[in-house]
Amino acid sequence: MDEKNAIMFNSVTHALRAQEILAGYSIRSKLVKSSRSRSEKGCGYSLYINGNRSKALELIRSSGIQTAGE
């Protein structure tokens, strides 16, 4: 999976909420537990985006979901 298409989260709850929001806009994503080296604290999950990462990030943030490391 291409790291540049990943959006990181500190919790699985945020990642799942973000995935649901993106699905509502027909943006497909895959949820993956981040490697320990990629996650600074907490659980650390990433969504790998199929499509425009910038648009996905905008939709996630506008919904009030926090991302990690962005």
Tell me, what's the pLDDT at 70?
Answer: 63
Contact between 22 and 64 under an 8 Å Cβ cutoff? The reply is: no
Tell me, what's the pLDDT at 4?
Answer: 80
Tell me, what's the pLDDT at 41?
Answer: 55
Contact between 45 and 31 under an 8 Å Cβ cutoff? The reply is: yes
| Domain residue limits, the chain | 3-62
For the stretch 19-31, pLDDT in tens is: 999 999 999 999 9
Query: Whole-angstrom Cα distance, residue 39 to residue 27?
Result: 24
- Region 37-60: mean pLDDT is 82
* Threshold 0.85, pTM exceeds: no
Helices 53-62 & 12-24 angle (0-180, nearest 10) = 110
* Mean pLDDT (the chain, rounded): 87
